[in-house]
Amino acid sequence: MKYASIKGTGSYLPEKIVTNDELAAMVDTSDEWIRERTGIHQRHRSADGEGTGQMAEAAARHAMDAAGVSPEDIDLIVLGTTTPDRVYPATACQVQARLGIAGCAAFDVQAVCSGFIYALGVAEKFIRTESATRALVIGADVHSRLLDWADRSTCILFGDGAGAVVIEASDEPGIMSSHLHADGRYEPLLYVDGSVADGYDAQSAGPAVTRMQGNEVFKVAVRTLGRIVDETLAANGLKRQAVDWLIPHQANLRIIQATAKKLRLPMDRVVVTVDKHGNTSAASVPLALDTAVRDGRIKRGEILLLEAFGGGFTWGSALVRF
Ligand code: ACO
């Protein structure tokens, strides 16, 4: 059995920045409320027509550059997204075509904010079982397109973006373990209106927008992420002191702080991008990872705990020797 190791990281953020003050001009909220309750100062919003596939391609190219590989070297593409450009074909297939390659497996996984962790866990298993040797793993979302701009409890939270890694077969770990979970009973707390069964158009099903009972989601997220920290450390026979960096899903600074507290990690060992990016859904973990790799905080050989929680509910983690 091989291990999978991360060879390169990349990301992409749309040019346009939306500040809290701009949102306060649209709904009854304030910069102060948003900063205090979420830690978000701003978020990026993709341009009209700039979809998940385009952003995913840009992040993937940056990751391949960092890894020193070209598209022809890739034999698997797994893309986490909840905002595919079309219901089908998969956005991973679109990215494959944009990269000018064909033949390798390419598919999307849909686990909302846990999308990248799910994609990484799946791709890792392909590599461990020697079904692939070099994979592009991408998380990309334009969650801004799934928002009710009159709902102040959701429209302030989300941003658009993409992040990617190249993982490769190796004799040494690498990804030490990955852990994926879901509990579909929580659908009423977090879902998008509308349904393919109803025809999926505005007239029959209403607009496809995010509906969330934020405070209920918050409580389950904190509890669940605490449990996944324990599970991940136990699976590797490690104590919490072994973790050099926490790279959490960036939904809310208070959720991130609670997980850091559980690990007793000081906040300067936690990668926080929620202030600048907001919640970019499947892109949030790889965007945070790439940010801290490129600014030199994360170094080769360090142990990283990646974790996420999102709609489904889904949640998961990966322990990585970088
Ligand atoms: N501005 C001002 N007031 C607001 C805003 C706003 N933007 N949004 C809500 N409020 C009000 C509410 O109406 C409520 O007012 P009331 O007391 O008069 O009824 C009050 O603020 C408190 O509302 P809560 O929902 O209890 O606020 P909370 O402190 O829980 O913060 C938030 C809300 C930020 C959504 C938080 O609950 C959260 O981050 N939840 C988790 C989100 C998450 O992790 N989602 C999973 C990933 S997302 C995905 O998978 C798609």
Q: Are residues 88 and 235 in the same domain?
A: no
Q: Are residues 226 and 306 in the same domain?
A: yes
Q: Are residues 301 and 194 in the same domain?
A: yes
Sequence-separated (6 or more) residues with CB below 8 Å from residue 280: 43, 44, 141, 143, 158, 159, 160, 161, 163, 250, 287
Does residue 222's CB lie within 6 angstroms of at least one atom of ligand 1?
no
Q: Residue with the nearest Cα to atom 50 of ligand 1?
A: 310
Diameter over CA atoms, the chain: 56
Residue 194, pLDDT score = 84
Is 44 one of the annotated active-site residues of the chain? no
- To the nearest whole number, what is the mean pLDDT of the chain? 96
Q: Are residues 48 and 137 in the same domain?
A: yes
CA gap 91, 79 in Å, rounded: 7
> What's the pTM?
0.97
Residue 118, pLDDT score = 98
Q: What is the atom index within ligand 1 of the atom nearest the CA of 154?
A: 35
Q: Are residues 33 and 116 in the same domain?
A: yes
Element (H, E) at 261: helix 253-263
Tell which of 128, 153, 172 closes a domain.
Answer: 172
Is 249 one of the annotated active-site residues of the chain? yes
Does residue 305's CB lie within 6 angstroms of at least one atom of ligand 1?
no
pLDDT > 70: percent of the chain: 98
**pLDDT tier for residue 196 given thresholds of 50, 70 and 90:** confident
**pLDDT tier for residue 204 given thresholds of 50, 70 and 90:** low
Q: Residue with the nearest Cα to atom 28 of ligand 1?
A: 215
Residue 198, pLDDT score = 79
Q: How far is the CA of 25 from the centre of ligand 1 (A)?
A: 18
Q: Are residues 100 and 194 in the same domain?
A: no
Sequence-separated (6 or more) residues with CB below 8 Å from residue 135: 4, 74, 75, 76, 77, 78, 123, 126, 127, 166, 167, 168
Q: Are residues 136 and 12 in the same domain?
A: yes
Residue 36, pLDDT score = 98
Instruction: Locate 69 and state its tokens.
Output: 């590989």
Tell me the mean pLDDT in the region 178-200.
92
Tell me the mean pLDDT in the region 2-20.
98
pLDDT tens per residue, range 216-263:
999 999 999 999 999 999 999 999 999 999 999 999 999 999 999 999
Tell which of 172, 203, 220 closes a domain.
Answer: 172
Is 215 one of the annotated active-site residues of the chain? no
Q: Are residues 102 and 188 in the same domain?
A: no
CA gap 188, 2 in Å, rounded: 40
Q: Which amino acid is at 260?
A: A
Sequence-separated (6 or more) residues with CB below 8 Å from residue 159: 18, 43, 44, 45, 143, 144, 277, 278, 279, 280
**pLDDT tier for residue 199 given thresholds of 50, 70 and 90:** confident
pLDDT tens per residue, range 140-161:
999 999 999 999 999 999 999 9
Tell which of 128, 154, 172 closes a domain.
Answer: 172
Q: Which residue range(s) make up the domain with 150? A: 3-172
Q: Are residues 12 and 152 in the same domain?
A: yes
Q: Residue with the nearest Cα to atom 7 of ligand 1?
A: 152
**pLDDT tier for residue 10 given thresholds of 50, 70 and 90:** very high
Does residue 248's CB lie within 6 angstroms of at least one atom of ligand 1?
no
Catalytic residue among 62, 93, 113, 252: 113
Q: Which amino acid is at 243?
A: V
Residue 26, pLDDT score = 96
Q: Are residues 76 and 195 in the same domain?
A: no
pLDDT tens per residue, range 74-117:
999 999 999 999 999 999 999 999 999 999 999 999 999 999 99
**CATH for 254:** 3.40.47.10
Q: Is the pLDDT of residue 162 over 70?
A: yes
How many separate domains does the chain show? 2
Q: Are residues 150 and 194 in the same domain?
A: no
Q: Are residues 267 and 228 in the same domain?
A: yes
Query: By the 8 A CB rule, do 263 and 243 touch?
Result: yes
Q: Is the pLDDT of residue 200 over 80?
A: no
